Amino acid sequence: MSEQTQSTAGVPEAVHLVKDEASGLDGVIVLHSTVLGPAAGGCRAWRYPDSRAMTRDALRLAEGMAFKNAMADLPLGGGKSVINLPAEPFDRRALFEAFGRAVAELGGSYVTAEDVGTGVEDMEAVRRQTRHVAGLTQQEGRPGGDPSPWTALGVFLSMQEAVRRAFGGDLSGVTVAVQGLGHTGAALCRLLHEAGARLIVAETRSDVAAQIACRYGAEIASPRAILSARADVFAPCAMGGVLDGAGVGRLRARVVCGSANNVLARAEDGDALARRGVLYAPDYVVNAGGIVNVCAEYLGWDSAQAERRVRETGQRLAAVLDHAQEHGLAPHRAADLLARRRLERRAGDVRPVAA
């Protein structure tokens, strides 16, 4: 079942509810925009309290992907899929094959890949049903595989730019509080350690936190305490919405730059950060490395071209921050404005957009 609408800012082109009783599939695919190309965005597998919460998450993530792909100058629109995981036990391969059939029915208007809760093996199951998938087993000399190292690299390069602006130096000796030590958060910790940063880490899995702490000499904080840790930079690398009104009030860091999507609970929370003098690096600008790798794999680019585009992430953040400063905007407002301009320009919308 799907609901079709005309895409405008904040309104998706289509919402497809996907169900398969045999496998337990209960999910949603949101196509926010196909103005720039097929809607691309990963498949998140999570346990939600109900379908409404699942769909709400997918809608926000899909809009973020439309903005992310536009700002990364990719020939892709924005979309997202979310699966509400069934109770254990269930056949994971059958679940993702059913999801693959749902993707195939969209005829190439949506391209999926990994996200939180999914991996290469899941995408291989999807591939048995459709070719509109990336994040598959990497082939020699070609983009592919787990995109999280590329996401981490883009965040790292963006953090270098943000720290240079906020503190006038590099990452050596800077204290970074990393929330979430999944594939991307762990990869970011490695890059930060190599750059001479001091680490404070938080992770719900205590054994993973202990491993990272031992490997990089990091201090461990609880997931709740990490926001108020004495750090120069806060790097959210877990789920979104962490910076709500209360979170902004507890934050001590002067820079926010991480891999999580939808870090701000509301746009107004980004305004509150700006009023406090906190430099917020907009999430969908800095965490685009993974989707660049997905795009390169799907469109057949070579590894060198993919890496070059990922390494331009810090420059793209710099352009957003320059625009924000020039027009007196908070960085997230500047990023949203620039993303919408790109989408509207391609759609032939000539309506003026105020700076």
Q: Please give the positions annotated as active site.
A: 80
Where helices occur in 51-177 by DSSP H, the ranges are 51-71, 92-104, 120-127, 148-167
DSSP conformation class of 227: G
Question: Under a CB-based contact definition with an 8 Å cutoff, are residues 188 and 156 in contact?
Answer: yes
CA distance 195 to 299: 33
Number of separate helices (H) and strands (E) present in the chain: 13, 13
Which residue is it, tokens 């496998």? 23
Question: Under a CB-based contact definition with an 8 Å cutoff, are residues 154 and 288 in contact?
Answer: yes
For 315, residues 6+ apart whose C-beta sits below 8 A from its C-beta are: 161
Termini Cα distance of the chain: 39
302-307 long-range contacts, CB within 8 A, separation 24+? 302/141, 302/142, 302/143, 303/141, 303/142, 303/143, 306/143, 306/150
Per-residue HEC secondary structure of 39-74 comes to: EECCEEEECCCCHHHHHHHHHHHHHHHHHHHHHCCC
For 125, residues 6+ apart whose C-beta sits below 8 A from its C-beta are: 92, 93, 95, 96, 97, 100
Question: Under a CB-based contact definition with an 8 Å cutoff, are residues 226 and 176 in contact?
Answer: no
Question: Under a CB-based contact definition with an 8 Å cutoff, are residues 255 and 279 in contact?
Answer: yes
CA angle (149 as vertex; 148, 150 as ends), nearest 5: 90
User: For 335, what's the count of Cα atoms within 13 Å in the CB-facing half-sphere?
Assistant: 27
**Measured torsion, CA atoms of residues 234, 235, 241, 247, in degrees rounded to the nearest 10:** -10
User: For 18, what's the count of Cα atoms within 13 Å in the CB-facing half-sphere?
Assistant: 29
